[in-house]
Structure 1
Amino acid sequence: MSAAERGTPRTRRLAAFIERRAGLVVLVTLAFAIVAGLGASRLRIDQRLRKLLPDHFPSVSGMDRVAERLGNQSDIYVSIASPSREANVAFGDALAQALEGHPDLRWSLLRRDYAFFERHALLYADIDDLLDLRRRVIERIYEETRTAAYGDLSLLDEGDEAGAGEAGEAGEAGAGSSALGLDEEEIRRRYGLDEGHSEYFEADEGRLLVLKARPIEESTDLEFARRLQSDLEQTIATIDPAGFHADMAVELHGSFVQHGQRVAQLRGDVIGGTAAAMAALLLSIAIYFRSARAVLLVLGPLLVAGVGALGFAWLVYDVLNLVSAFIFAVLLGLGIDFAIHVLARYRDERARGHRRPTALAVTLATTGRSTLAGGAGTGLAFGALTIADFQGFAQFGVVASFGLVLAMITALVVMPAALVLSERWRPWAPPAPRPAAARSWGRLGRPVMVAVTILAVVGAGVAIYGGLHASALEFEYDFRAMGPRQEQDAEQAAEHQVTYRDAIGRAQTVAPA
């Protein structure tokens, strides 16, 4: 007999084992799910773009050494806004005094000292000014050497001699001139040394004041970040901004605060996306099988595979990066095919009159084999990602490959075991095929084929168009563009408003943090 009629010897042995040990298989699966669930519950999402970069890159390892030496470099900015500068300064002094010696802050800074920068302003000279100074020094050396060695004779050509002569005349000028032809007043004007600098981080004539604070831990420690932010908000409320000015508004800003907000938002997106995937799967299974039992048989083992993949990710990586954060929803979408095909084939074999062990053996020998082949191909595609330097792809490939293996095992072993137990409790009699359905398909066959042909032609046209214009596709290197759309809109709107960045400086970078 062929495998389609009785199965192969191996599948018959596997079906017999599942029939005898169905309870044991389900118990072991439940124990695995509990252990994996405990690990998955400890899994965190780290949305820092640093986690997407390979550790062995020199720039990344250098950044890690700096972070290890200097510690956290993300600051909290407390913006104090009101129509009165005096009220802002008074509240800032009170807040700075309250935060002095805070155990979770390395320092807090309300006032800044410009004395060092005023004394050493030329350390921060522009490159063009430095090159000009270098040229003047070289010319002065030539002139001094010529004068000392040759008197009125010159080693320079006419153009250089004229420049050196000017430098020499400048060297003999009165007070206020440099031997190199540099005017001190011009230097002070160029670098703003005579301009008055506020000792505060302020903007809009003092109507906005900022206090800077640096936490001792990084923002990736979400529990620490939440506790510190809550403590700061409570401290601000205790000082009572309204007591200083009725219109005073005090808010927390900065990457430290934004990271916690983005992680919470990303976590919500992951949960929402997974819930949407679950709802779509429930609906599709219910429509196809028209059975609540089928929904449980398909989704139960699949959820175990997803939880197992998350537990594996916690064991290997401890955290998920931005790319791998949606791995659970992806595995649900990929793994459900295995279970649906296997259960549908089992239902058809039972409808043909096979007893349960024979139906399982035939299903595993036919659909099970094709399921393994398809899963192996998908697994190899994910496995190819594991060699990528970009850790977003590498981590996703490892976790997805492991989850795909679990999905195949649960579809071919765990789901049949659960099916055996459910039939022992209450036999499942799949509906026999209806002849009317074949007649309906015969009537609809031609229109459906026409629609399929049209879709194929349109799809081919779109594919050709995309291939011809693929070279025009560009990568987005500005990592700020990866944030939520409303956050980008808010940043663009803030460009025309006075914000805390105007008080501390608007310098930005598109490099990963």
Structure 2
Amino acid sequence: MERSLGALATRSHQRPILALGLALLLAAVGGFFARNLKLNANLVDLLPNSFESVQDLHELETRFGALGWVSVVGEGGDAASLRRFADDLAPKLQALPGVRFVEKERTGAFFRDRALYFLSEEDLREVHRRLAARLQWERQQANPLYVPLVDEPEPTLDFSDLEAKYGGAAGQKLSSAKDDYYLDAKARRVVVLVKPEMTSADLAYSRRIVDEVRGLLDAQELSKYGPDFRVEITGTFQKKLDQQKQIIRDIAVSSAVAMALMLLYLLFHFRSALAVGLVLTPVGVGLAWTYGLVALVYGQVNLLTGFLGAILGGLGVEHGIHLLGRYLHLRTEGESSVEATRESFTHTGGAALVSALVAALTFFVLGTSRLRAFREFGVIAGIGMLVLIAAYVLVLPALLGLTARWGWRPKRAAVAPSESPFGRVLVRHRYVITGVSAVLLVGLLTQVPRVRFDYNFGTLEDQDLPSFVLDKQVNEIIGYSQTPVVVLTKSTQEEHAMASALARRQRERGKDSTIDFVASLSSLVPQDQPRKQAVLQDIHRLLENVPEERLSPEQRTQLVELRRQSEARPFTLEDLPPSVRQQFMGREGTPGSFVLVYPAVDQSDGQAVRALAREVRGAPTLDGGRVSAAGEAMVMADLLDMVTHEAPLILGGTTLAVLLAMWMTLGGLRMAVLCLLPTVVSLLALIGLMPLVGVEFNYLNILIIPVLIGTTVDAGVHLLTRLASPGSDFVEVYSETGRAIAGGLLTSAMGFGALFLARHPGLNSVGALASMGFATNLLVMLVAFPALLLVLTERRRRRHRARMDSEVKERAAAGAPGPEHATP
């Protein structure tokens, strides 16, 4: 393999025009295909279509349409102006193309007037009994001739037990708001909700509908509602667009910063602008090839693969530092350009190929994940590692061939010094350094049990974006989540049974329930209304005889409310307000047959979302089948279950695959274990360091652990393969290879670490953890591991000398000549 690499590099060196022409042609083709790559940051697309939550969500979008709203928020006026703004704007929004309906008012008044119909007949009779008992007691107290024989307490009119019993019912929830508009007078804010036809997953449609709403708002004369009146847009559609815009910005900034840092470091490392170009040109060509393949296979990039340009660039530059560094060193020793190229790609190139294969294998193991973001990241990164090696074998020798023809010879400044002072320090104080490193490692290992996993889904979205902050405020005004879980049913009977089952589970769990309330068309039209009306008429007659002069002003207001409620007539589905009915209608305008489950928990809390999913999916069905529940909460729960299930398997599979691959390519298990040792030690140290600096694992940065296994192992490969060469001197090898290792790890860290500049919290955590991982590995690789190698080497030499001395003594005792007298 090494000889083949050297031969291929020599041919490229000898025919540079042909090699560069082929490389540029392939790069042009790759760039042509990659020009239309788009970013897909939709969280639903992170999961495979085989997942029940994804299938249910697609079915919901087909039957019901869009989940979520475009929320128009008016701010800065008094209560009357805010209501007038909502009244004026609603019909204009309704006229926009692509809008299903607009909701500007609550339906509280309708349900408040009919609130008593939502009580059971038995509980209505209990209301009648308590009222009758209190009325009788009041009459007795008003009679001056009445003398109680026993001291009886006054009959209570406390109905808090009934209020608690029905507090979670849909009718009670919808009638609890004091203002019929979505209005917060204190914050001087009103909300108008727009329901589009299609889903927010279609970003082109989301942009179009939001632009139409914004264009309408820009055309309004807002000053008539107040001098400081202004409007904002939030909701699911605006949040998706803002998140997409932020990630695109993060990709551009992170990639530019990573490139600038690599340029600066390469200039510092080689002290030559031409050397920088020699390293970066193959990386650019390899990335063009890689993204051309991405465009052909996937057609888009996701939350993670969008940053692969910076990441692969850093990993590719590492190979260039080792290859070009070895070439320059050989040239300063008098080797010709051809021989220096052959030697560099035969030995250093072989080590680079081994490390690239191991890294690619690591990424391919990550590519077995069912999570699409991880799978595509693994596959693309694995292919990219192999493509970058191919680009270096084709492009770098050709460039070196051209520079040799032009008479360029490397300067001493571009080559590592012949001896590193720290190499001598390691040799002199190897035992002390090994001991101190061991103590530090043991100390960090004691912190490993303190590592925690952050279950907050906020790592997948930036909750500090203005539209996200405003959306939370809108939810507070509305009083419940705008993104309920939707349980799909097949008939009215099944819908009623499911709503009853979920409400029953909510009551049984009490405060531990994750459900706020359950709503369906069947639950909004109570049963047995004629019989309840008879009881209500009896209650009304009682209320007519209540002596108002004995009541407080507050009680008189309650009396008026009860009298109105007791006069309410039975109502049917057709009597429901249009704004209520349309929320339960399918895209064709017919009843959708589904149940809305409004969460009582924060949907960014992964553990709470898992509990919500279990509670909803655990409800019994009429046919004994599974509960078909759709919504982002269900997708998030499945995402969490999958990550926690796959993480140990991928980590174990990655470690085993790397060990086997190195065993096969390096030709021995002992060599493979030694090369892998600094990576394992640095990972343990990293995990122990995390709780000390306040870093936690989350759904995105967990992938860094297998990535670090594959991308840091090459440092051990380069160092040990050079030390294993016959006649190698430790200080000389450490001076040359250690400098290249430091440069490679630093540029790799720059590729990942650029994500630290991302505003997206999940990507930011990926960059932070990767930077910590590479820094830890750098210390282990350049300080602790070389010291340990020196200690092990000396012990081996001592054992060898002791064995030789023992053999000499045995021969002397047996009368045989010692090694110094033996015949050669």
TM, length-normalised to structure 2: 0.49
Taking the aligned partners of 2:290 and 2:194, their CA distance within structure 1 comes to: 39
Give the conservation status (yes or no) of the 8 Å contact 1:36–1:308.
Answer: yes
Higher mean alpha-carbon deviation, 221-230 vs 280-289, is at 221-230
Residue 328 of structure 2 aligns to a residue whose secondary structure is helix
Structure 1 residue 173 displacement after superposition: 7.1
Aligned residue number for residue 158 of structure 1: none
Taking the aligned partners of 1:464 and 1:69, their CA distance within structure 2 comes to: 58
Aligned residue number for residue 341 of structure 1: 322
Structure 1 residue 293 displacement after superposition: 1.3
Aligned residue number for residue 43 of structure 1: 37
Taking the aligned partners of 2:374 and 2:407, their CA distance within structure 1 comes to: 45
CA distance 1:221–1:453, change in 2 (3 Å)? farther
Residue 219 of structure 2 aligns to a residue whose secondary structure is helix
Structure 1 residue 295 displacement after superposition: 1.0
Structure 1 residue 89 displacement after superposition: 1.9
Aligned residue number for residue 367 of structure 2: 386
Give the conservation status (yes or no) of the 8 Å contact 1:75–1:213.
Answer: yes
Taking the aligned partners of 2:198 and 2:425, their CA distance within structure 1 comes to: 65
Taking the aligned partners of 1:34 and 1:434, their CA distance within structure 2 comes to: 31
Taking the aligned partners of 2:273 and 2:230, their CA distance within structure 1 comes to: 55
Give the conservation status (yes or no) of the 8 Å contact 1:46–1:220.
Answer: no
Task: Please give the residue correspondences for 1:166-315 in structure 2 after superposition, counting only pairs within 5 Å.
Answer: 190=166, 192=172, 198-204=179-185, 207-315=188-296
Aligned residue number for residue 502 of structure 1: 476
Residue identity matched to 1:471: P
Aligned residue number for residue 384 of structure 2: 403
CA distance 1:434–1:384, change in 2 (3 Å)? closer
Structure 1 residue 479 displacement after superposition: 0.7
Task: Please give the residue correspondences for 1:25-36 in structure 2 after superposition, counting only pairs within 5 Å.
Answer: 25-36=19-30
Give the conservation status (yes or no) of the 8 Å contact 1:12–1:357.
Answer: no
CA distance 1:423–1:53, change in 2 (3 Å)? same
Taking the aligned partners of 2:190 and 2:396, their CA distance within structure 1 comes to: 63
CA distance 1:27–1:116, change in 2 (3 Å)? farther
Give the conservation status (yes or no) of the 8 Å contact 1:339–1:411.
Answer: yes
Taking the aligned partners of 1:18 and 1:314, their CA distance within structure 2 comes to: 28
Residue 387 of structure 1 aligns to a residue whose secondary structure is coil
Aligned residue number for residue 161 of structure 1: none
Taking the aligned partners of 2:228 and 2:389, their CA distance within structure 1 comes to: 62
Residue 353 of structure 1 aligns to a residue whose secondary structure is coil
Superposed CA deviations along residues 344-372 of structure 1, whole A, max 9, x for unmatched, are 22223333333333322222211111111
Aligned residue number for residue 431 of structure 1: 411
Task: Please give the residue correspondences for 1:62-211 in structure 2 after superposition, counting only pairs within 5 Å.
Answer: 62-114=56-108, 190=166, 192=172, 198-204=179-185, 207-211=188-192
Taking the aligned partners of 2:227 and 2:433, their CA distance within structure 1 comes to: 65
Taking the aligned partners of 2:197 and 2:395, their CA distance within structure 1 comes to: 48
Taking the aligned partners of 1:116 and 1:436, their CA distance within structure 2 comes to: 83
Superposed CA deviations along residues 413-470 of structure 1, whole A, max 9, x for unmatched, are 222123323443x2220135999954x746x654566799877666544543443332
Aligned residue number for residue 14 of structure 1: 8
Higher mean alpha-carbon deviation, 196-205 vs 452-461, is at 452-461
Aligned residue number for residue 318 of structure 1: 299
Taking the aligned partners of 2:474 and 2:23, their CA distance within structure 1 comes to: 54
Aligned residue number for residue 355 of structure 2: 374
Higher mean alpha-carbon deviation, 226-235 vs 454-463, is at 454-463
Residue identity matched to 2:240: H
CA distance 1:172–1:338, change in 2 (3 Å)? closer
Greater relative contact order: 1 or 2 (C-alpha under 8 angstroms, separation 6 or more)?
Answer: 1
Residue identity matched to 2:309: F
Task: Please give the residue correspondences for 1:429-508 in structure 2 after superposition, counting only pairs within 5 Å.
Answer: 429-431=409-411, 437-438=417-418, 441=420, 445-447=423-425, 460-484=438-462, 486-487=464-465, 491=469, 499-507=473-481, 508=602
CA distance 1:19–1:170, change in 2 (3 Å)? closer
Taking the aligned partners of 1:122 and 1:28, their CA distance within structure 2 comes to: 81
Structure 1 residue 298 displacement after superposition: 0.9
Superposed CA deviations along residues 311-362 of structure 1, whole A, max 9, x for unmatched, are 3333323333323332222111211111221112222333333333332222
Residue 191 of structure 2 aligns to a residue whose secondary structure is strand
Structure 1 residue 385 displacement after superposition: 0.7
Higher mean alpha-carbon deviation, 444-453 vs 321-330, is at 444-453
Residue identity matched to 1:74: G
Aligned residue number for residue 54 of structure 1: 48
CA distance 1:451–1:494, change in 2 (3 Å)? farther
TM, length-normalised to structure 1: 0.76
Taking the aligned partners of 1:413 and 1:271, their CA distance within structure 2 comes to: 29
Residue 303 of structure 2 aligns to a residue whose secondary structure is coil
Taking the aligned partners of 2:43 and 2:245, their CA distance within structure 1 comes to: 16
CA distance 1:446–1:340, change in 2 (3 Å)? closer
CA distance 1:435–1:236, change in 2 (3 Å)? closer
CA distance 1:195–1:58, change in 2 (3 Å)? closer
Superposed CA deviations along residues 460-483 of structure 1, whole A, max 9, x for unmatched, are 445434433323322222212444
CA distance 1:197–1:428, change in 2 (3 Å)? same
CA distance 1:363–1:123, change in 2 (3 Å)? farther
Give the conservation status (yes or no) of the 8 Å contact 1:47–1:322.
Answer: yes
Taking the aligned partners of 1:368 and 1:91, their CA distance within structure 2 comes to: 70
Higher mean alpha-carbon deviation, 331-340 vs 91-100, is at 91-100
**Aligned residue pair count:** 457
Structure 1 residue 90 displacement after superposition: 1.8
Residue identity matched to 1:428: W
Superposed CA deviations along residues 132-184 of structure 1, whole A, max 9, x for unmatched, are x9xx89xxxxxxxxxxxxxxxxxxxxxxxxxxxxx9x979979989xxxxx9x
Query: Identity of paired residues, percent?
Result: 26
CA distance 1:376–1:174, change in 2 (3 Å)? closer
Structure 1 residue 401 displacement after superposition: 0.2
Structure 1, unaligned runs of 5 or more: 138-166, 178-182
CA distance 1:121–1:270, change in 2 (3 Å)? farther
Residue 329 of structure 1, aligned match among 305, 310, 325: 310
Taking the aligned partners of 1:451 and 1:313, their CA distance within structure 2 comes to: 50
CA distance 1:90–1:457, change in 2 (3 Å)? farther
CA distance 1:264–1:204, change in 2 (3 Å)? same
RMSD of aligned residue pairs (Cα, Å) = 4.1
Residue 23 of structure 1, aligned match among 17, 24, 36: 17
Structure 1 residue 216 displacement after superposition: 3.5
Higher mean alpha-carbon deviation, 398-407 vs 288-297, is at 288-297
Aligned residue number for residue 564 of structure 2: none
Superposed CA deviations along residues 384-409 of structure 1, whole A, max 9, x for unmatched, are 11112233322211111011011111
